[in-house]
């Protein structure tokens, strides 16, 4: 049997291009499984249904490798599960090097496809590390220039002193003080500590 798998990241995205690509292989519509979900993992309803259907000797066709998923480590695990455990062939329309179909040298084709996939995984991982390193360098340079990250600190309101006085006199609780100032308890205590430090300096 021949099966197709289609994935788009959101319900608003169209599957037209992938469906058109699969149309050339005369796959019965009931054998095409469609997910409208992120490719961050393989916990997708249609994909899981597809995996239950696949049997030894079947062929799975996808338009491109990223339609299977975005995480190459997980793609490698799924790839081996499909090709080695289930003994199902995979055809990637946009990258024929990944195709495992070949009657004359099936073992060689699977080996080549595995090798290419591992290279892709290495390149993807290296790129992720480069991106993280560039982000770290960018953040470090920005901090040196005095750029501050995160949400800007909220200015202490005028009524703070009166609320703090009530709190210090145990007339209201810290939570009530924070509620009156429309902040959380942690912020109120931070303001109170800063105010105390300023008084000590003076």
Model confidence pLDDT, tens digit, residues 15-25: 999 999 999 99
Q: Does residue 113 share a domain with residue 174?
A: no
pLDDT of residue 102: 61
Query: Would you call 38 a catalytic residue per the annotation?
Result: no
Does the pTM surpass 0.85? The reply is no
Catalytically annotated residue among 9, 38, 49, 173: 9
Whether 144 shows a pLDDT value over 70: the answer reads yes
Residue 185 domain boundaries: 160-201
> Which CATH number is 27's domain given?
3.40.50.1390
Q: Does residue 8 share a domain with residue 104?
A: yes
Q: Does residue 171 share a domain with residue 105?
A: no
147 located within any domain: no
22 located within any domain: yes
The tokens for 67 are 């339609």
Task: Report which listed range, 56-60, 117-121, 163-167, 187-191, is most confident.
Answer: 56-60
Q: Does residue 61 share a domain with residue 7?
A: yes
Q: Does residue 118 share a domain with residue 164?
A: no
pLDDT of residue 84: 86
pLDDT of residue 152: 64
185 located within any domain: yes
Q: Does residue 44 share a domain with residue 111?
A: yes
Q: Quote the number of domains for the chain.
A: 2
Whether 74 shows a pLDDT value over 60: the answer reads yes
Instruction: Return the DSSP state at 186.
Output: H
Answer whether 90's CB lies under 8 Å from 96's CB.
no
Q: Does residue 10 share a domain with residue 90?
A: yes
Last residue of a domain, one of 105, 124, 143: 124
d(CA 17, CA 166): 67
d(CA 60, CA 143): 50
Task: Report which listed range, 62-76, 105-119, 120-134, is most confident.
Answer: 62-76
Q: Does residue 57 share a domain with residue 7?
A: yes
pLDDT of residue 5: 96
Residue 202 banded pLDDT, cuts 50, 70, 90:
very low
Instruction: Return the DSSP state at 44.
Output: -
pLDDT of residue 103: 53
């Amino acid at each position: 049997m021949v099966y197709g798998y289609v994935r788009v990241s959101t319900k608003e995205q169209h599957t037209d291009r992938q469906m058109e690509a699969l149309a050339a292989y005369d796959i019965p519509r009931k054998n095409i499984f469609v997910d409208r979900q992120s490719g961050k993992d393989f916990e997708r309803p249609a994909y899981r249904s597809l995996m239950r259907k696949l049997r030894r000797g079947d062929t799975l066709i996808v338009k491109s490798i990223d339609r299977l998923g975005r995480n190459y480590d997980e793609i490698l695990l799924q790839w081996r599960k499909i090709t080695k455990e289930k003994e199902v062939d995979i055809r990637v329309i946009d990258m024929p090097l990944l195709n495992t179909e070949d009657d004359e040298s099936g073992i060689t084709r699977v080996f080549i496809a595995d090798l290419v996939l591992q290279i892709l995984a290495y390149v993807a991982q290296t790129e992720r590390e480069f991106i993280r390193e560039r982000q770290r360098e960018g953040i470090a340079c920005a901090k040196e220039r005095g750029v501050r990250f995160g949400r800007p600190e909220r200015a202490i309101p005028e009524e703070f002193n009166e609320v703090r006085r009530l709190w210090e006199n145990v007339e209201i609780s810290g939570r009530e003080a924070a509620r009156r100032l429309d902040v959380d308890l942690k912020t109120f205590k931070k303001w109170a500590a800063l105010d105390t430090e300023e008084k000590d300096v003076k």
